[in-house]
Structure 1
Amino acid sequence: MTIDYDVVIIGGSLAGRYAALTASQLRAKVALVEPTTNGAFNFVNAPYEFISHHALSHISNLAKQLGDAAQIGLHTSCADNSEKCQISVDIPQAMLYAHGVVSNLQEQHSPAVIAAQGVDVILGNGQFESSPHLSFAVNERTLRARNYLLATGSRPAIPEIEGLQRTGFLTIPQIWQARSRSTPPLQWVIIGGIPQSIELAQTLVRFGYDVTLVVEHPNILPDVDSEIAQLLCSQLEAEGVRVFTNTRVTQVRQIEDKKWLQVGDKAIETDEIVVARAQQPNIESLNLAAVDVKWNQRRLLVNDKLQTTNKRIWACGDVIGGYEFVNIAHYEARVALQNALFFPRLKVNYRHIPWAVFTNPMFAQVGLTEAQAKRGYSPDEVIVLRQFFKTLSAAQIRDETTGMCKLIVLRNGEILGASLFGAEAGELINVVAMAIAQKIKVNRLADLAPLCPSFSEIFEQAALSWSQQKLSRNLAWQECLESFFDFRRNSKF
């Protein structure tokens, strides 16, 4: 069989484009298959939805900051300075700003730019063929490669709730389109506990909407440190979001011009419903069954080398499950490509890969939580270091004192994980991620000598706290030894 490419990447996501460029830089002969919708190239939508959302979230944060400034006398555009200034946001203008951000990024990753890097970009919908040899058929072409990489992304999974389909709902990519209606929704109910649903709830409430968030899990997010999750939940509630945790929506009905939801034992009225739950992979049209690739409702099945049940087909990004995080998808793409193009020896290790919820303040996490660490190690070996943002001069200056840094370490100083909730958490978490990846112990964080004032000082404080605890433990141990020997000396035996 003639091999046309080293790797064929079936894309439709940012991870696919990143993988194609990475493979090209590794001097591989690579093809990128980009799907189309109704015959048109679908470059504008799914891959950049999260960028558009973050841009709108940034505007809502600025509006809140201006409102806070007005209340302390720093904003003087009110007709009467004795009045409380009301900061409103022009949603169409905000949408134009978000569209501009997306357009700038699209130019950097356009098909022309990717093709200029030596990637054979093919626009069209195709499927795998197993006979006479494994190949991928698209646009009446048969692409043959040593290996294939699936990076097709995912889409929202719709829950089976009585009356939901009949009543109607939106998914996160559709919400801002609702603003173009003649009577845009003022009340929103968001179903689901994923990072994007939490970010959306805060953004909408800061734009002045009435927002309810319904989460099935006991915490606002699963697998999150419960102490930090409570802080995040309290922040949303303080801003006006009604949060229902450990609660299910059992029924949806349309009554006149309103939608009604049965949320636990309460009936809630709303203008619009947003479904923001787990994703399901975009794989239906790929004919995977014919090439022995297995999957379930939520993800493609892969091993720890990101190889599917067909040893020549690999996968990365949210098509293999998990939250939609670009940094994680890029990490998986690098591992999968190294294994597909060279000797397959690399295994994914998510212990040092951070992730975040882009609220304000931000939540970020890497490694193990306190509960996970105490399940995996002896509880006596696990030490929890807490430092609060209110102790930082930078936080006081910027009036961003809400938050906490929680480091999980072993007695020998090895860092197992960290959870941060506060200003600059998205940048601070990278320091801990690097420390975990490089096996840097917590006491070395005291050697950073961070700028003052800066939020990085919180690590220096955490390292000093660990040293103090270690000294206290050593003193306690010495006292125990001294007591023991005193007893032996004074004993008749």
Structure 2
Amino acid sequence: MIDYDVVIIGGSLTGRYAATIATQFEAKVALVEPPQQEFPYLLTPYALTSLGKLRQQYSEIASDAVHPNTVQWAEVMQKAKGVVTNIEELYSPVILAALGVDVISGIGQFERTPSLTFSVNQRQLRSRKFLLATGSRPVIPNIEGLQATAYYTLPEVLSVLTSPNPPTRWVIMGGNPSGIQMAQIFTRFGLDVTLIVRHSRILPQEDPEITQLIQAALEAEGVRILTATPVSQIKQIQGKKWVQAGNQAIETDEILLCAGQQPDLAHLNLKAAGVRSHCNRLVLNAKLQTTHPRIYACGDAIGGYSFLNIANYEAAIALKNGLFFPRHRVDYSSIPWAVFCDPQLARVGLSETQARCSYSNVVVLRQYFKSVAAAHLEMTTTGVCKVVLAPTGEILGATIVGSYAAELIHVFGLAIAQRIKIDKIAQLAPVYPSFSEIFAQIAILAYQTQLIRPSILDRFLALWN
């Protein structure tokens, strides 16, 4: 006997989103979440992006000799938590229950009795399909002395920052989006920050010119960045913390780990269900199906950067395949993502480096924000729009660094999804002044490189003009 069409093993906001989507498919749904589930990670990157803007509002107050670590942190964090609360309310258990979702609070595991079930609170949940939409936990690097020395991860650091006397000197380990965002926010609130990155540059998956622009912006605000610098040892000597990074010994008050996230799956007894993993990552096919045909996964359960829009996209694909005929495959080529630093970084599709590895010939167009009137009006002219094209005018990818990059990138995402070439982008007539003018500027470059040419009819008619 089947109790549900799908049981969602949650612990993330994506799990609640998936439950909402499943009800729209008229499925009978159960959502299993750990007790007292909270989503503190929502404060980054979404709510944290507001901290920098609010900090700028306090700049005049701070310049009047108000200590940067007093009123601002408590007030700004209160506002940021308000944002998170509003987001959570959209998918609260009360709303889910009203939609018909059976919300179950508890920690369970898979069992074979003899058919596959999910056991929670002494109940055996039987379902046609299961969806893993669990949360994640921070990666703790294997560094000598780290476990013996107190350190913080993202969810834990929030309470420290709102304490009466927060530490002023911080070492942040990790050049991923969270590390970059936290380094900038800490600096804007008057804290002394050293960002240590073991790779040769921050965000190593991106093109060097893009990461250099972001790094320059961070360093201009006072962030000390050490690249290609592995941390070999951490010690606490006479109440002081020392971080051995390369050939440098750095004294700090506290350490923040931003070394990435890993799926939180250990308690689910997946091995008994026949679900295999490799290097702590689930083995999945393009339909987001695990090695057990009735178990799918999405979001943090898969691993990688914690981008909520990508996780929600995966949840929708997995549910369509699980509840109906499994014919949908994930295609990340048109799914954008963004890092909410200042200036923002957003990308969709291939970077230039990736495109040159896959295509023998590509065309790269660059237009800088200093050519956009709106950027001058808002005094945010730092930025670039970089578009990677095939010689046919097909858009392979786009990267935007600058104000409103997370909004502007969606035009290129739609273009890639619908196979809209650059000549169609040239037909846009963006509002003036607005940051969307960058599209018109890119179109001008496409004309100059002859990627956009007059049609045969236009050239024929031109002979009679």
Q: TM-score range by the shorter chain?
A: over 0.9
Shift of 1:257: 2.5
* Counterpart pick for 1:354 among 309, 318, 336: 336
Q: 1:48 to 1:166 in 2, by over 3 A?
A: closer
For residue 401 of structure 1, what is the aligned residue in structure 2?
A: 381
Report if the CA contact (8 A) 1:52-1:99 is conserved: no
Matched, 1:268 2:250: yes
- 2: CA distance between counterparts of 1:408 and 1:154? 33
For residue 41 of structure 2, what is the aligned residue in structure 1?
A: 49
For residue 461 of structure 2, what is the aligned residue in structure 1?
A: none
Structure 1 vs Structure 2 CA RMSD:
2.0
For residue 421 of structure 1, what is the aligned residue in structure 2?
A: 401
For residue 27 of structure 2, what is the aligned residue in structure 1?
A: 28
Matched, 1:412 2:412: no
* Counterpart pick for 2:219 among 220, 229, 237: 237
Shift of 1:298: 3.7
* Counterpart pick for 1:154 among 130, 136, 140: 136
Q: 1:84 to 1:48 in 2, by over 3 A?
A: closer
For residue 470 of structure 1, what is the aligned residue in structure 2?
A: 450
- 2: CA distance between counterparts of 1:62 and 1:158? 31
- 2: CA distance between counterparts of 1:171 and 1:298? 20
After TM superposition, the score normalised by the length of structure 1 is 0.88
Letter of the 1:241 partner, please give it. Answer: V
Shift of 1:189: 0.6
Shift of 1:53: 5.8
What is the SS of the residue equivalent to 1:165? coil
- 2: CA distance between counterparts of 1:462 and 1:65? 33
Shift of 1:313: 0.4
Q: 1:472 to 1:417 in 2, by over 3 A?
A: closer
Q: 1:226 to 1:131 in 2, by over 3 A?
A: same
After TM superposition, the score normalised by the length of structure 2 is 0.93
Report if the CA contact (8 A) 1:354-1:429 is conserved: yes
- 2: CA distance between counterparts of 1:155 and 1:33? 18
Report if the CA contact (8 A) 1:279-1:298 is conserved: no
- 1: CA distance between counterparts of 2:113 and 2:58? 63
For residue 116 of structure 2, what is the aligned residue in structure 1?
A: 134
Letter of the 1:64 partner, please give it. Answer: Q
Shift of 1:260: 0.5
Report if the CA contact (8 A) 1:52-1:102 is conserved: no
Letter of the 1:59 partner, please give it. Answer: L
Shift of 1:223: 1.2
For residue 72 of structure 2, what is the aligned residue in structure 1?
A: 90
Report if the CA contact (8 A) 2:367-2:386 is conserved: yes
Letter of the 1:343 partner, please give it. Answer: F
Matched, 1:122 2:104: yes
- 1: CA distance between counterparts of 2:433 and 2:65? 30
Report if the CA contact (8 A) 2:393-2:452 is conserved: no
Structure 1: state its 5+ residue gaps: 71-76, 475-493
State which structure, 1 or 2, has the greater radius of gyration over its C-alpha atoms.
1
Letter of the 2:202 partner, please give it. Answer: I
Aligned residues: 452
Q: 1:87 to 1:428 in 2, by over 3 A?
A: farther
* Counterpart pick for 1:443 among 423, 433, 452: 423
* Counterpart pick for 1:202 among 177, 184, 197: 184
Letter of the 1:3 partner, please give it. Answer: I
Among the aligned pairs, what percent are the same residue? 53
Letter of the 2:294 partner, please give it. Answer: R
Matched, 1:434 2:414: yes
- 1: CA distance between counterparts of 2:369 and 2:380? 8
- 1: CA distance between counterparts of 2:407 and 2:290? 34
- 1: CA distance between counterparts of 2:296 and 2:47? 33
Letter of the 1:386 partner, please give it. Answer: R
Report if the CA contact (8 A) 1:410-1:416 is conserved: yes
Letter of the 1:216 partner, please give it. Answer: R
Matched, 1:58 2:40: no
Shift of 1:154: 1.0
Poorly superposed stretches of 4+, deviation over 6 Å: 83-87, 471-474
What is the SS of the residue equivalent to 2:426? helix
Letter of the 2:313 partner, please give it. Answer: Y
Report if the CA contact (8 A) 1:443-1:464 is conserved: no
Q: 1:191 to 1:414 in 2, by over 3 A?
A: same
Report if the CA contact (8 A) 2:42-2:84 is conserved: no
Report if the CA contact (8 A) 1:446-1:459 is conserved: yes
For residue 388 of structure 1, what is the aligned residue in structure 2?
A: 368
Report if the CA contact (8 A) 2:423-2:452 is conserved: no
What is the SS of the residue equivalent to 1:433? helix
C-alpha offsets along residues 449-472 of structure 1, whole Å, 9 cap, x if unaligned? 000001111111111101111179
Letter of the 1:460 partner, please give it. Answer: A
- 1: CA distance between counterparts of 2:445 and 2:127? 55
Structure 2: state its 5+ residue gaps: 455-465
For residue 487 of structure 1, what is the aligned residue in structure 2?
A: none
Report if the CA contact (8 A) 1:129-1:290 is conserved: yes
Matched, 1:189 2:177: no
- 2: CA distance between counterparts of 1:338 and 1:313? 13
Q: 1:84 to 1:410 in 2, by over 3 A?
A: farther
* Counterpart pick for 2:203 among 214, 221, 233: 221
C-alpha offsets along residues 461-490 of structure 1, whole Å, 9 cap, x if unaligned? 11110111117999xxxxxxxxxxxxxxxx
Matched, 1:323 2:322: no
C-alpha offsets along residues 112-165 of structure 1, whole Å, 9 cap, x if unaligned? 110100111111111101121101011111110111000012111100000000
- 2: CA distance between counterparts of 1:226 and 1:53? 22
Q: 1:293 to 1:393 in 2, by over 3 A?
A: same
- 1: CA distance between counterparts of 2:142 and 2:24? 45
Shift of 1:373: 0.6
C-alpha offsets along residues 424-446 of structure 1, whole Å, 9 cap, x if unaligned? 10000111101100100012111
Higher alpha-carbon deviation: 58-67 or 316-325? 58-67
Matched, 1:283 2:282: no
Report if the CA contact (8 A) 2:392-2:451 is conserved: no
Shift of 1:417: 0.4
- 2: CA distance between counterparts of 1:140 and 1:247? 50
What is the SS of the residue equivalent to 1:416? strand
Letter of the 1:116 partner, please give it. Answer: A
C-alpha offsets along residues 80-129 of structure 1, whole Å, 9 cap, x if unaligned? xxx88879452111222122222222322211110100111111111101
Report if the CA contact (8 A) 1:368-1:418 is conserved: yes
Shift of 1:52: 6.2
Higher alpha-carbon deviation: 420-429 or 179-188? 179-188
For residue 316 of structure 2, what is the aligned residue in structure 1?
A: 334
